[in-house]
């Protein structure tokens, strides 16, 4: 042991004892090269002799050097780092999106720093400011519920930091966006109910001030109009949050209607699940007496009985697409950052809560 230590010079010894980080300078001193040579050897530059590179690698092992990528990236003025702002990580949809982002980012050597806005506009602004100072190369954001103004992203844009929004995206604001076609998806879901024989189709809507729920509502209405089914405002329930309890409340209102619906399209799976449970409890058969279609393809949709017909909202793919687009924009480094909108195709997953007709149009 003593003998081994004797192979180190005094300075290195001290560093090792104090667990100070070994730097390029230490390698340089150890081998008698200039730090610039070490740097080039480490980065496998062409104009460095093979012999030198090998020597350097040996010294790396001996002294236990690990690169300081912060210093390196700082010098190169790129952090290979992307920031994410989501409302809440614990919401399953967002956790899948994040998962998709991380996966894509990891492949491309970027790392992902995550912030929760908690659906608060103030906090979202605060985070945007923090991100400003962090040298992130780009950011991905799903807007807070409260957010109705997007000025806090202007400075990022001015600084040429690309921003990609997903799911809850700004309206009338020039930016890149990843969305699904909510209108088309709702249309498809409603039409499925129609073609499976439903005549009176109700809708449980989210807050119609939020664009995605507005679009779903529109798609529902359009499908009815298209198939000459009269709209009936009594068949539309508006919720604040689309949570389970609001679903129960809405379903009960439908249940108490004189002229009850025979199909219900719900703007998410939670309200669809509570609708199923409310009608089952009231001894309705599903899909015999009433069909139910949800939206999102949450895990519970495969477990509830009957299993739930729903729209696959492609959360994971949305994350991948967001990261992909963002990284492309980062690496283009063009003077003008283009604003692109990617619309992901959704998919109607037909399960047991709706009748399936082969004569499906």
Of DNA, a second copy, none, which one sits near residue 114, judging by CB under 5 to 8 A according to partner kind?
A: a second copy
Give the rounded distance of the alpha carbon of 219 from its chain centre: 24
Tell whether residue 78 is a contact of DNA (CB under 7 A). no
Task: Please check whether residue 118 is in contact with residue 144, taking contact to mean a CB–CB distance below 8 angstroms.
Answer: yes
Number of residues in contact with a second copy, rule: CB under 8 A?
52
Number of residues in contact with DNA, rule: CB under 7 A?
30
Both tokens of 323, joined, read 């990261």
Tell whether residue 90 is a contact of a second copy (CB under 8 A). yes
CB of 139 to a second copy, least distance (A): 13
Tell whether residue 58 is a contact of DNA (CB under 7 A). no
Of DNA, a second copy, none, which one sits near residue 32, judging by CB under 5 to 8 A according to partner kind?
A: DNA
Verify cis geometry, omega within 30 degrees of 0, for the bond prior to 184. Answer: no
CB of 7 to a second copy, least distance (A): 19
Task: Please check whether residue 290 is in contact with residue 284, taking contact to mean a CB–CB distance below 8 angstroms.
Answer: yes
159 vs 228, beta carbon nearer DNA: 159
Q: Which of 4, 6, 19, 32 binds DNA (CB under 7 A)?
A: 32
CA pair distance 321, 164, nearest whole angstrom: 10
CA pair distance 310, 296, nearest whole angstrom: 6
Tell whether residue 238 is a contact of a second copy (CB under 8 A). no
By DSSP bridging, strand 291-293 and strand 347-349 are unpaired
CA pair distance 45, 47, nearest whole angstrom: 6
Q: Which of 5, 13, 14, 34 binds DNA (CB under 7 A)?
A: 34
Question: Considering Cα of 31, then 35, then 41, then 47, what sign does the dihedral take?
Answer: negative
CA pair distance 319, 97, nearest whole angstrom: 4
Of a second copy, DNA, none, which one sits near residue 43, judging by CB under 5 to 8 A according to partner kind?
A: DNA
Spell out the alpha helix ranges (H) of the chain.
Answer: 2-6, 10-17, 24-31, 35-42, 50-63, 69-76, 92-107, 121-132, 154-158, 182-195, 211-226, 244-255, 269-281, 315-332
Tell whether residue 79 is a contact of DNA (CB under 7 A). no
For residue 138, the cross-strand partners are: 82
CA pair distance 141, 128, nearest whole angstrom: 10
CB of 130 to a second copy, least distance (A): 8
CA pair distance 252, 41, nearest whole angstrom: 72
Tell whether residue 155 is a contact of DNA (CB under 7 A). no
Tell whether residue 14 is a contact of DNA (CB under 7 A). no
- Of residues 121-160, those binding a second copy (CB under 8 A): 129-130, 132-135, 155, 158-160
For residue 342, the cross-strand partners are: 178
CA pair distance 42, 259, nearest whole angstrom: 76
Of DNA, a second copy, none, which one sits near residue 360, judging by CB under 5 to 8 A according to partner kind?
A: none
Tell whether residue 102 is a contact of a second copy (CB under 8 A). yes
| Tally of residues, the chain | 361
Q: Which of 9, 11, 14, 74 binds DNA (CB under 7 A)?
A: 74
Tell whether residue 58 is a contact of a second copy (CB under 8 A). no
CB of 137 to DNA, least distance (A): 14
CA pair distance 13, 38, nearest whole angstrom: 20
Largest CA distance in the chain: 94
49 vs 67, beta carbon nearer a second copy: 67
CB of 85 to DNA, least distance (A): 23
Stretch that binds a second copy, among 105-113, 221-229, 232-240, 250-258 (CB under 8 A): 105-113
Of DNA, a second copy, none, which one sits near residue 299, judging by CB under 5 to 8 A according to partner kind?
A: a second copy
* Binding site residues, a second copy, CB under 8 A: 19, 21, 64, 66-71, 74, 79, 81, 88-92, 94-96, 98-99, 102-103, 106, 111-116, 129-130, 132-135, 155, 158-160, 244, 273-274, 277, 299-300, 302-305, 316
* Binding site residues, DNA, CB under 7 A: 21, 23-25, 32-37, 39-40, 42-43, 45-52, 67-68, 71-72, 74-77
């Amino acid at each position: 042991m003593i003998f081994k230590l004797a192979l180190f010079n005094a300075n290195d010894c001290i560093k090792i004892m104090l667990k100070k980080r070994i730097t390029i300078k230490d390698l340089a001193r150890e081998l008698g090269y200039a730090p610039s040579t070490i740097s080039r050897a480490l980065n496998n530059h062409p104009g460095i002799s093979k012999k030198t590179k090998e020597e350097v690698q040996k010294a790396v092992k001996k002294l236990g050097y690990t690169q300081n990528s912060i210093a390196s990236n700082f010098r190169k003025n790129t952090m290979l780092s992307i920031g994410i702002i989501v409302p809440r990580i614990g919401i399953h949809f967002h956790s899948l999106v994040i998962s998709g982002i991380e996966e894509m980012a990891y492949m491309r050597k970027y790392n992902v720093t995550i912030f929760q806005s908690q659906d608060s506009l103030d906090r979202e602004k605060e985070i945007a400011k923090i991100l400003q100072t962090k040298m992130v190369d780009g950011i991905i954001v799903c807007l807070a519920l409260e957010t109705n103004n997007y000025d806090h992203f202007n400075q990022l844009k001015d600084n040429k930091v690309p921003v990609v929004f997903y799911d809850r995206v700004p309206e009338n604001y020039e930016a890149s966006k990843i969305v699904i076609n909510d209108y088309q998806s709702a249309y498809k879901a409603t039409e499925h109910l129609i073609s499976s024989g439903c005549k009176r189709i109700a809708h449980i809507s989210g807050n119609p001030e939020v664009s995605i729920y507005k679009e779903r509502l529109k798609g529902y209405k359009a499908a009815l109009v298209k198939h000459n089914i009269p709209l009936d405002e009594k068949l539309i329930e508006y919720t604040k949050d689309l949570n389970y309890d609001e679903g129960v409340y809405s379903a009960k209102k439908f249940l108490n209607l004189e002229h009850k619906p025979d199909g219900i399209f719900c703007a998410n799976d939670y309200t669809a699940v509570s609708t199923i449970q409310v009608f089952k409890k009231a001894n309705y058969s599903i899909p015999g007496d009433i069909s139910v279609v949800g939206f999102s393809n949450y895990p519970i949709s495969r477990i509830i009985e009957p299993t739930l017909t729903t729209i696959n909202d492609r959360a994971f793919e949305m994350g991948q697409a967001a990261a992909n687009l963002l990284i492309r924009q980062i690496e283009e480094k063009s003077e003008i950052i283009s604003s692109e909108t990617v619309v992901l195709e959704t998919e109607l997953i037909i399960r047991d809560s709706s009748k399936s007709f082969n004569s499906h149009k």
